[in-house]
Amino acid sequence: MMVFIIKKNIKGEIYYYVNHSVRMGGSVKTVSHYLGKGPFTQSEIEFLVKEKSQMLLLEAEFLKIFSKKLEYEEHILPTSFINIIERLKEINRIMAPFNKSYFDKFEENLRLRYVHGSMAIEGNTLSLRDAQLILEEDTPAGNTLREMYEILNYKDIFKFLSTYNGDITLKFILKIHEMMMKNIDDENAGVLRNIDISISGSDYDPTPFPVLEDELNNLIQWYKEKKLTMFPVELACHFHQKFVEIHPFIDGNGRVSRELLNFILIRNNYPRLVIPFERRGVYLRCIDIGNSGQLTPFIIFISGLLIEDSFKPVDIFFNKLKEKIKEEKYSSDISKELDNTMSDYKEILEIIKGMEGRIENLNLNELRKGKWK
């Protein structure tokens, strides 16, 4: 963003404006804001510009969001549906610095609910409060050491990920599994299985053990190629499904697959995704349907969770954001686009909620009504 000071002489009076140019794709848009009636010294001008700098940056970000066109070559969700998810993602990102304490707390809560939900899906009986005592207060809880370590090990994983700048590799996957299974199954932690297995309650046969490493490397190569062209939410869903089908470990496959799904989302500036225990049945049924090659229900399910839960701060702070925009005299186009975005958000939320309990029949036609074609 480039900033220029403009002086206008109107009937002998000097009026100061700050103009900023925003590059949006192949064009540049210039927006002007009034600073005040001069004359001003250089230090006063610098102070006024600094005072407006946060607002100028925010407006530049909004302009970029609302002018952005879909860039993904591969997706099955309707383009209009993807556009609103992308807008919510960007508005969520922009709002965070202005509500730092709330967003920090919300992210902490997402992490806690994610860990508790992920382990509850696997049969862990600890309560949300027990998980909080273990993760945040270093207080032992639970009936068994295994259940406690299943929760506690996430502390090491989160610490590792906070400084990890690489991407998904075989070494990375093995490291996540090693930390996940620490003090639970040390013998098999971070080690690919050396036997063939079956999945309880499923007719699907996982990949034979002699070709596990080859299949994982193929998946990683597929991911490296597709991450350049595929809508990230769908990329994360595909990776999760393929990983579960390979089932490379004796135990811990579900936990690692959900961690990798979130890794892909977070790397693409999406908030963390929580799959709550109450949705366990829908989640597992989506995976079963995915085993037959039909990923649409799973993609709709995951997109719905993002919209319904992970983007909740956007809804909460919308009115506050609107007041700020009005106060700073942003362009009416930005205010109108925000209204449209929130209206679309609520409409999509109703569509997703209307699908609850009908996972077998989830299909794109329900998302292609009217403007969601």
- Contact predicate 60/33, CB 8 Å: no
Has 247 been annotated as catalytic? yes
Which of the residues 20, 177, 240, 247 is marked catalytic? 247
Q: Annotated catalytic sites, by residue?
A: 247
